């Protein structure tokens, strides 16, 4: 099935990818700066520790390790994280489609997984939204089953899809760089 990002003309895809990637990195940097007080002994990975807490006891321990300012920052990050999935899923989805095209043009393996990975990034974004809803419920005092489990399951799916997509894009980048280097060495 054709991915919606494939409607972007191939000549425009690179510029769109770069713009989306820059926006993704900027928003991620802002979220990291805002979230720096969320790193505590109970939450060594800040908001990610909270996302992966899984049990109400662990989630409560993490929230309790945050002072009032940190809890407000966590809530603000959740608000900002309603924009972030649109950015990263579009940037990485487009990157996967472009990688598939590069691999196809060079007759390399794995070109057929670019489109499914791009669709998988929409799943990652949907999981991120469900995770955010569960985390907001916890921040507003609903630190009970099933909210930590929903957040952790959705975060796990999201992170797996992100790592697969980033790995695939890097694989395509390596193929592209080596193909250019080989071409230059033969001319």
Q: Which tens digit of pLDDT belongs to each residue from 56-110?
A: 999 999 999 999 999 999 999 998 888 999 999 999 999 999 999 988 887 778 8
pLDDT tens across 21-35, in order?
999 999 999 999 999
Q: Could you report the per-residue pLDDT of 163-185, keeping only the tens digit for each?
A: 999 999 999 988 877 766 555 55
Give tens-digit pLDDT for 36-63: 999 999 999 999 999 999 999 999 999 9
Closest CA to 140 of 81, 75, 76, 83: 75
Give the chain's mean pLDDT.
91
Please give the structure tokens belonging to residue 79.
């608000």
């Amino acid at each position: 099935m054709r991915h919606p990002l494939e409607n972007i003309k191939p000549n425009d895809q690179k510029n769109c990818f770069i713009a989306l990637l820059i926006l993704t990195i900027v928003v991620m940097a802002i979220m990291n700066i805002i979230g720096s007080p969320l790193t505590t002994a109970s939450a060594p990975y800040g908001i990610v520790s909270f996302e992966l807490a899984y049990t109400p006891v662990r989630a409560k321990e993490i929230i309790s390790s945050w002072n009032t300012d940190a809890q407000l920052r966590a809530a603000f990050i959740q608000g900002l994280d309603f924009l972030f999935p649109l950015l990263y899923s579009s940037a990485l989805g487009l990157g996967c489609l472009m990688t598939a095209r590069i691999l196809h043009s060079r007759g390399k393996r794995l070109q057929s997984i670019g489109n499914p990975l791009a669709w998988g990034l929409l799943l990652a974004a949907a999981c991120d939204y469900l995770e955010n809803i569960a985390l907001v419920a916890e921040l507003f005092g609903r630190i009970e089953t099933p909210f930590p489990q929903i957040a952790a399951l959705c975060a796990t799916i999201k992170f797996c899809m992100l790592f697969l997509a980033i790995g695939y894009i890097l694989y395509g980048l390596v193929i592209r760089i080596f193909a250019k280097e080989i071409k230059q060495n033969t001319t």
